[in-house]
Amino acid sequence: MSVSRRSFLKSAGVVAGSALVVPAVAQMPISNNQAETPSSSSEKVDYTIRIAATPMEIAPKKIISVTTYNGQFPGPLLRMKEGQQITVDFVNKTDTLEQLHWHGQLVPMDVDGASEEGTPYIPARGTRRISFVPRPSGYRFYHTHNRAGADLSAGQYSGQVGHVYIEPRNEPGNYDREVFVVLKEFEPSFSRGGDMAQDVLSPTTRVKALEEKGEAAMKASLAKGMPHGYEVGYSAFTINGRGLDMESR
């Protein structure tokens, strides 16, 4: 079926720890992929990003609560043009100071979104407006830059990730359609003194060489007096916020 680029973007899904873009996959269900744009403002605002706790159904009757952008995961796709200034409003509806980082962009420190680089926080229950010139062109993404520490509901353990596509200034590229995909784990938990469950992996066959390498590294660390730390495992794995073959629990 022939689908125009613009109509596909309106209907397709819109993003660990990490985000991944692949050239072609089956369509994934997702909510509206456009960020809210205010209708009235003294200054033209291109996008508004609202940060809030949101219930999210990742499988039938499987609902989790995470912090998201604009009530969806991944966050809305933000389209920008290389070299053209863009203005973004942040609305923080949580009780926590927030940072939104423009991953992979060459932007000033005051809008980069990393407190260690000098970016002011988005106040709890407050707002912030920023403007910058997006560059370089290509796929990027945006995400929270809060450090989670031991809080497995904070930082990038949450659902605060979204896509950015910066259209090239001169050469738009030659392609039939765009597909934006995010692989993301949810429901993290700590484990100590044992390996995380591997029943989610396929195939489940263990690789002996990797096991031996891992055990050797652990013994070397303990021999230096390092503590036996915690590992983080997950019980839910999603593509664009939807689990595959996930049984209701």
Residue 173: predicted pLDDT: 76
Percentage of residues of the chain with pLDDT beyond 90: 52
More confident residue, 202 or 172: 172
How far are the Cα atoms of 18, 36, 83 from residue 87, in angstroms, in the given order?
25, 13, 13
Q: Over 90: is that where the pLDDT of 20 sits? A: no
Residue 35 has pLDDT above 80, yes or no: no
Q: Between 31 and 128, where is the model more confident?
A: 128
Distance CA 149, CA 143 (A): 16
Instruction: Give the alpha-carbon dihedral of 226, 228, 230, 231, to 10 degrees.
Output: 90
Bridge partners (DSSP) listed for residue 68: 52
* Average pLDDT, integer, range 15-38: 38
Task: Determine the average pLDDT of the residues in 183-197.
Answer: 78
What whole-number distance in Å separates Cα of residue 46 and Cα of residue 40?
Answer: 11
Report the predicted TM-score, pTM, of the whole model to 2 decimal places: 0.73
- What pLDDT score does 240 carry? 94
Mapped onto helix, strand or coil, the DSSP state of residue 70 is coil
Cα separation, 92 vs 147, whole angstroms: 17
Question: What domains sit in the chain, N to C, each tagged with a CATH number?
Answer: 5-184 (2.60.40.420), 187-243 (no CATH)
* Mean pLDDT, range 200-229, rounded to an integer: 80
Q: Give all strands of the β-sheet with 183-191 in edge-to-edge order.
A: 183-191, 231-239, 242-243
pLDDT confidence band for 108 (50 / 70 / 90): very high
More reliable by pLDDT, 24 or 173: 173
| pLDDT for 14 beyond 90 | no
Mean pLDDT of 194-212: 69
